[in-house]
Structure formats: structure tokens, C-alpha cells
Amino acid sequence: MFKATVTRMNYSTLLGILLSLLLLAFIILYAAQDPYSFINLPGLAIVIGGTLAALFLSFPLREIKHGVKSIKLFLFY
């Protein structure tokens, strides 16, 4: 029904992601007394688990599969 088209990745998106990760690393390493205080594994599990639960409650499985394919295309293009 729909024709799949492959488009080129927008490099400004990649640049924005890289710059935001560099800024986060800079803040953690240079502004914190203890950089390990930013790591909270139970909190990370709660956030990721809650996000996945909300995702599966909000969308049909076929749309989630399509989203995973789009993310793979973005990351491994």
C-alpha cells in the first residue's frame, strides 16, 4: 500500500545529539564533586521501564516495530 522511501539522514540531527552528549559529559565531569553521583541504576530502570510500558500501551505492535526499524535506519545508516 505504502511505498517505502529511503531518505538521507539529516546531519544537523546527529550534530545536535553529539553536542548535547558532550555538554552532558562536560557538566558531569567538571561540575560535580563526585561524577558517580549522577549514576542511579534503580532510577534508570524505573524511567526506561515506565517509558516502555507507556509505549506498549499507547501504540499497536506493528507501529512499534516500524519505529524500531526507523531507529535502526537512523543509527546504522
In the 3-class helix/strand/coil scheme, how is 45-59 assigned residue by residue? HHHHHHHHHHHHHHC
| Calpha distance 32→49 (Å, rounded) | 27
**Mean pLDDT of the 30-54 span:** 90
Is 43 a residue whose pLDDT tops 80?
Answer: yes
Measured on CA atoms in the order 25, 47, 43, 72, is the torsion positive or negative? Answer: negative
Q: Give percent of the chain with pLDDT exceeding 90.
A: 51
**Mean pLDDT of the 52-59 span:** 95
The pLDDT value given to residue 2: 60
Mean pLDDT of the chain: 87
| pTM assigned to the model | 0.57
Residue 63 DSSP class:
H
The pLDDT value given to residue 31: 81
